[in-house]
Amino acid sequence: MNSYEEDLVASNISIGSSECAQYTIRNLEVIPSNDFQNSTSFYVEFDIDIRSLQNIFKLRKSEITMEYSTSLLGENIVGSNNITATLGGDFQNYTLGLFDAEPNKVTVNIEKIIGEVAVDVNTFQANIYHASIFIQNFDLAGVLGLSVNENFDLTTLIEEGEDVIEIECNEYNEDITISVNNLLPITIEEYNQEVYAGTKTLLTIEGENFLDNTGSFAAVEVWFTNAENADIFEWVKPYAGDYLLISDDLIQVYVPSYALDINGSNQNKEYAGSGVFKIVHRLNGATIEESDEKEITVTYAVRNRFYQTINGSSSTQPVMLTTGVTDNEYVVAFSPDFALKQDANGFYFKDAFGRALNSWCNTTNLNFVIDENAYQSGNFDLLVELGIPQNSSALASTSISSFIESNCAISLDNGSINHPEIHEVDFIDDVIITFNDNIALSLWDAKSLVPATLYSVEQVALHELGHSHGLLHTNHSEELMYYAANSATTITSESVSASNYLQNHSQTQLCLDGVYQANSNCTTGTIDLKLNGFVSIKTTYIDQEIIVESKDLRQVSQVQIFDTNVMLLKSVKNVESDYMIIPFHNVNGVFIISFTTDFGVYSDKLFIAN
């Protein structure tokens, strides 16, 4: 034995093993210490990964000595404090040491802390450490080289039971010799910070080094926060056909509402939402480089469909509204079991649904009209039924059961840098809203919307009606279209904007299926009255009845209704704590509704039109 082997034996370390460890440099890049134009100093950053080429082993200690060019990095970079290193995330039970092995070599020691559990190294790469080397007056036109002499400078010790063994097989994957310009990071400098998903809105990104310059021809992709599953952070990306332009300093991409997961295997699973986005380079399913994450607001998302262009490119297409089965309106029908469905207190689900529909009509002139005889004739566009949604725990679900295919192009005022743009669109045809019939009847509340409960039929209907005419989820928790159940009891601002966008464009399209028209004859007037800054009273009109709702209605002792000439038409004492139904046959007009409370008399206008 030589002296080195004798030292190992004296330390009870065996020599030889059938295992083989492979080390690899990854994520090598050059980062300026400040603005590119003014920078005179840089950092070379890289990761060292480890994996087993055969069986899983427990890593006791790893020593890596790396050779570098002194003309580029200088000498003794540890002693000059020009290198730092940090442990990889899986190796926190280890210590890390740095020292100058020679003027042109740096050694990194990673050793398990006594008493801690060793990390299992398998055939997948694990990041053992990250290093950053400071360089002054870097030549950006130069060549960077990093190498390891694998016959001399790699040492790996593993644990087998109580034994510590040095393995003989150490392999370094490849030395690095590369142009510095090819290592400069992806830098995002300017972009539009507020966008809309599904409207063919262009996200325009300006910066540097967007293209992959390493010669590996990696795909350039933009990744967005997933709005559909915001409680678990995920990334989504557009289809290839949704990129309008990709150059080294400019990317223009349509913000997707019909998106792919990052591996491209799941279609329409998710869509872009508020949060962050980034630019990535992908090669053979792996991310080889990425930019910093940038904050972005996706105000709302509307529905898109997938299609393939003539040249085979995969892209997405907006969806609009058209005429229904009758003149310019979508007819809503109730299945027989839904029409008869009552909550535990005897209030009908259909009445709650009607109030929700009329709220949409009053707020955005949505032209969906209930016809309780349409189910028998089959002459309807939207069916409301009882059943079990695909997600069996969901309160309800909405599905577009058919679309009207169209080659018709319309002008979209989508907020893009070159808007309006001309794009082909399809149209919503048949819709099904399914309320979950597997939820206990005692949980549902078809009467009161204020305060809203998790099982408020009217609130659920408000949300599902948004989906029925093209609105998608948001990850803004205060909004009606939030992806999870929330407390929104009104058609919130983002939902109004999204609905107006769809309806306005649907009224201007000239496609063969017919122009959509708004409904200006809504049957419900809604007012919100604030008492003492915190009490909200909601008043609606439907089927010749005024419905008054509030969690604090007990504070109201009397409700009076006047015409605009201040003639008293109706006076009713309050006998219920949170809900009143007042028969009222006077329609078509503006009326004053007055609430007498312990704090005074409050009034507001009620608009009724047929």
- pLDDT tens digits along 46-62: 899 999 998 899 999 99
Q: Given this model, what pLDDT does residue 71 score?
A: 78
Q: 106 with 77: CB under 8 angstroms?
A: yes
User: Tens of pLDDT along 417-427?
Assistant: 667 888 899 99
Identify which has the larger pLDDT, 85 or 69. 85
Cα gap 39→439, rounded to integer Å: 63
Q: Nearest-CA neighbor of 360 among 503, 553, 227?
A: 503
Q: What is the CA radius of gyration of the chain?
A: 33
Average pLDDT (159-165) is 90
Domains present along the chain, CATH in parentheses? 3-183 (2.60.40.680), 187-308 (2.60.40.10), 330-508 (3.40.390.10), 527-608 (2.60.40.10)
Residue 13 has pLDDT above 80, yes or no: no
Q: Given this model, what pLDDT does residue 304 score?
A: 93
User: Tens of pLDDT along 366-385?
Assistant: 999 999 889 998 999 999 99
Average pLDDT (138-165) is 80
In this structure, what token pair is assigned to residue 387?
A: 């059943």
For the ranges 78-82, 258-262, 287-291, the lowest mean pLDDT is seen at: 287-291
**3-state SS class at 3:** helix
Identify which has the larger pLDDT, 80 or 600. 80
Distance spanning both ends of the chain, measured CA to CA: 102
Do the strands 57-68 and 119-121 form a parallel or antiparallel pair, or are they unpaired? antiparallel
**3-state SS class at 282:** strand
Average pLDDT (143-156) is 76
Q: What is the pTM of this model?
A: 0.69
Residue 131 has pLDDT above 50, yes or no: yes
pLDDT confidence bin for 150, thresholds 50/70/90: low
Any idea what DSSP says for residue 474?
B
Q: Given this model, what pLDDT does residue 4 score?
A: 46
Residue 87 has pLDDT above 60, yes or no: yes
Residue 488 has pLDDT above 50, yes or no: yes
Cα gap 585→436, rounded to integer Å: 35
Most confident option among 122-131, 139-148, 212-221: 122-131
Cα gap 518→369, rounded to integer Å: 11
Average pLDDT (14-30) is 76
Cα gap 496→504, rounded to integer Å: 12
For the ranges 132-146, 339-353, 499-513, the lowest mean pLDDT is seen at: 132-146
User: Tens of pLDDT along 245-287?
Assistant: 999 899 999 999 999 988 887 776 678 999 999 999 988 787 8
User: Residue type for 178, please?
Assistant: I
Average pLDDT (458-482) is 93
User: Tens of pLDDT along 340-370?
Assistant: 999 998 999 998 999 899 889 988 999 999 9
Average pLDDT (100-109) is 93
Q: Nearest-CA neighbor of 362 among 541, 506, 505?
A: 541
pLDDT confidence bin for 334, thresholds 50/70/90: very high
Q: 610 with 588: CB under 8 angstroms?
A: yes
Q: Nearest-CA neighbor of 558 among 603, 516, 508?
A: 603
In our burial notation (b when 16+ CB lie closer than 10 A, e otherwise), range 327-343 reads: ebbbbbbbbeebbebeb
For the ranges 128-137, 141-150, 296-305, 586-595, the lowest mean pLDDT is seen at: 141-150
Mean pLDDT of the chain: 85
Q: Given this model, what pLDDT does residue 320 score?
A: 95
Q: Given this model, what pLDDT does residue 5 score?
A: 47
20-32, strands of its sheet edge to edge: 83-87, 126-136, 41-52, 20-32, 169-172
Q: How far is CA 599 from CA 3, 530, 553, in A?
A: 96, 12, 13
pLDDT confidence bin for 101, thresholds 50/70/90: very high
**How many other β-carbons are positioned within 10 Å of the β-carbon of residue 555?**
17
Average pLDDT (77-105) is 94
Q: Given this model, what pLDDT does residue 1 score?
A: 47
Residue 138 has pLDDT above 90, yes or no: no
Average pLDDT (423-442) is 94
